[in-house]
Amino acid sequence: MTFKGLPTVFLSLILVMPVRADEGMWLLNDPPRQLLQQKYDFELSDAWLERVQKASIRFNSGGSGSFVSPQGLIVTNHHIGADALAKLSTKERDYLREGFYARTPAEELKCPDLELNVLMEIVDVTEQVNAAVKAEMSPEKAAAARRSIMSALEKESLEKTKLRSDVVTLYQGGLYHLYRYKKYTDVRLVFAPEQQIAFFGGDTDNFEYPRFNLDICFFRAYENGQPVKPEHYLKWSKRGPKENDLVFVSGHPGTTNRLETLARLIYRRDHSHPYTLARLRAMEALLRQFAELGPEQARMAAHDLHRVANARKAFSGQYQGLLDPAVLARKEAEEKKLRAQFEKSGRKDGPDPWVQIENTQKKLVSLERPYALLERGDAFWSELFGIARHLVRMTGETPKPNADRLREYRDSNLESLRFHLFSPAPIYPELERAKLTLSLTFLAETLGGAHPLVVKILAGKAPGTRAEELINGCKLIDPAERKRLAEGGVKAIEASKDSMIQLVRLIDAESLRLRKRFENEVDEVERQAYGRIAAVRFATLGRSVAPDATFTLRLAYGTVRGYRQEGIELPFHTTFGGMFERAERQRFREPFDLPPRWLKGKDKLDLKTPFDFVSTADTIGGNSGSPVLNRAGELVGINFDRNRHGLVRNFVYTEEQARHIAVHSAAVLEALAKLYDAESLVKELSSRR
């Protein structure tokens, strides 16, 4: 397929343009040493890498962070800490909106279900995984064999090291690495600013630049009742970055699709993204309407609303990229080169992998939406439904041999699963009813009111009536009831009259049937095809192309510099003074209103202090909270966003205008010392072991 109407000059530029630039979310066990040496005269030492690796943290609620003191102090974004802030909040005290500061260790608040992971080791297990899958196997048997060996490797690693162990698929099936993590589950809140300053500008400024956000949050990790003393932590830079400085981002990017075939991207454009955007818009509208019912409803919905609105805007930007002929033309040019190498190498000892992937997209047309609605749970937007499904499946799966279970119930994952499943975090029935009503309505809108699944799930009732019946008849809000059912096993589940348990049992056979079809007819076929494509890529380009993001630790690099937009030169950083000017121009109307302490304390601040800054480093969703480092490995910023030009980075990298955005390290110290009277926190950040 070709893209007509593009200027010949542009197409030629696509074919000769540098592939790398500052592109790459690099594996820590395969870093870009040569690229950094050649372009920036920087020697990436093993000691530097180890310190950064073991100081970097994955937030399992979604996001990144880092140790920043020898007493286990951790920094991340306010919007990454928002899940914990919301769960710790009450009707009387809204920490998400009002902020929080523990002046002493005794005042630190323990988070109910926050798990942090620190990567300790990576082991290449590609040979073992590939050896388990034989060429003559059907996709179903191949998927089972792969699942079995991955579970066995994880269990063996867990028993040997006592570390969380996950086999991660890289290059969509080209490599398999075993990641071993030190896990922390006693995590306590230390500091959070007010939401008004953490998210100044709100949705209006989201994915835009210039920005003025103190998007930070501090936690502390504990072990055996005492603050953790990490082997490695990042020293806080008082100076921060300067223009044109080389910087690094060490974090956990979520998902990219740069190595997907053109056929897969076109399917996303024509099917997946329109479906996702329709769902997100409906969810956002529901949450905004719910929040308008009153202050307490606004508090209940705040975290979900921010998350959904952020996702809607991100997917909208990605969709614009998929609609851009230049983006797809670039992908087509890259694919043609790779396919030519495939033909030249004589590797055609099986089906054409690009054709295989194109054929799976045809199957997805009828499979993806029912699969997403039932198995992914899009039709059941409810924490209670998720809890019920885990209880039903966990009690059924755990008696099986480890190798035969669904991946989420393998031995190496059970401890983390139970930690979240039995969380005492609050669940709000009023919000659950509203969300479930919306998602049941979306189910009917998507499949049609007469569809057998819709008829079965609604049970002869309107979505609102059915949702109320399900929420009112559910006792799983109580963690003790969840534990009772989990301990009672299959018999307790079968005897349960709980409405959500019964709903899960009603649809689970069909849901699992769709999952099996998806895994065997799409996922396994694509995995094998992408594995063959990866082999061609390795033979042609070596490891000069980083794998797509997988929510595992990666290292990105770039330079601190501004850019030109709509004829205006945007500086590499903003200032406190610039924020006050923007607020005044907007007459302090929401979302440009400022917390009282900032209005009253303006004269205390050095208004020339850098606030937020941008660089060309390659980041994506999941990198939120990632430390931004200088050559010395010091923390000079905390990544929190991309600009709108960077949203297309899910599919292609560009650095002409695309930037990631971070809070400047100097801004954090200035605000903590002069507005929050947090001298003890400043002192800790400035301390050295």
Chosen domain end from 183, 202, 232: 183
| Residue 574 shares a structural domain with residue 649 | yes
Instruction: Please give the pLDDT value at position 348.
Output: 63
Task: Tell whether the model's pLDDT for residue 2 goes beyond 90.
Answer: no
User: Could you count the other beta carbons within 10 Å of the beta carbon of residue 193?
Assistant: 27
Residue 658 counted as domain residue? yes
Task: Tell whether the model's pLDDT for residue 601 goes beyond 60.
Answer: yes
pLDDT digits (tens, 9 = 90+) for 211-253: 999 999 999 999 999 999 999 999 999 999 999 999 999 999 9
- Reported confidence tier of residue 8, pLDDT bands at 50, 70, 90: very low
| Residue 556 shares a structural domain with residue 504 | no
| Residue 358 shares a structural domain with residue 489 | yes
| Among 279, 296, 297, residue whose Cα is nearest residue 288 | 297
The total number of residues shown for the chain amounts to: 689
How many domains is the chain built from? 3
Residue 279 counted as domain residue? no
Residue 674 counted as domain residue? yes
The domain in which residue 433 lies consists of 298-303+346-539
Residue 285 counted as domain residue? no
Instruction: Please give the pLDDT value at position 210.
Output: 98
pLDDT digits (tens, 9 = 90+) for 519-577: 999 999 999 999 999 999 999 999 999 999 999 999 999 999 999 999 999 999 999 99
Instruction: Please give the pLDDT value at position 331.
Output: 96
Residue 248 counted as domain residue? yes
Residue 284 counted as domain residue? no
Residue 288 counted as domain residue? no
| Residue 575 shares a structural domain with residue 653 | yes
Backbone torsions φ then ψ of 488, nearest 5 degrees: -80, -15
| Residue 570 shares a structural domain with residue 658 | yes
- Reported confidence tier of residue 6, pLDDT bands at 50, 70, 90: very low
Average pLDDT over residues 119-144: 97
| Residue 395 shares a structural domain with residue 472 | yes
Can you give the CATH number for the domain in which 557 is found? 2.40.10.120
Chosen domain end from 167, 183, 199: 183
Token pair recorded at residue 398? 């755990």
Instruction: Please give the pLDDT value at position 345.
Output: 78
Task: Tell whether the model's pLDDT for residue 346 goes beyond 90.
Answer: no
Task: Tell whether the model's pLDDT for residue 146 goes beyond 80.
Answer: yes
Kindly state the DSSP code that residue 103 receives in the 8-state scheme.
Answer: S
| Residue 364 shares a structural domain with residue 467 | yes
| Residue 248 shares a structural domain with residue 350 | no
Residue 409 counted as domain residue? yes
Largest CA distance in the chain: 74
| Residue 382 shares a structural domain with residue 489 | yes
pLDDT digits (tens, 9 = 90+) for 354-401: 999 999 999 999 999 999 999 999 999 999 999 999 999 999 999 999
Token pair recorded at residue 49? 């890498």
Please work out, in degrees rounded to the nearest 5, the angle formed at the alpha carbon of residue 252 by the alpha carbons of 247 and 254: 120
pLDDT digits (tens, 9 = 90+) for 472-516: 999 999 999 999 999 999 999 999 999 999 999 999 999 999 999
User: Could you count the other beta carbons within 10 Å of the beta carbon of residue 221?
Assistant: 24
- Reported confidence tier of residue 661, pLDDT bands at 50, 70, 90: very high
Chosen domain end from 141, 166, 183: 183
| Residue 495 shares a structural domain with residue 455 | yes
Average pLDDT over residues 95-106: 97
pLDDT digits (tens, 9 = 90+) for 192-201: 999 999 999 9
Token pair recorded at residue 583? 């607020």
| Residue 197 shares a structural domain with residue 176 | no
| Residue 50 shares a structural domain with residue 104 | yes
**Is 608 within 8 Å of 575 (Cβ atoms)?**
yes
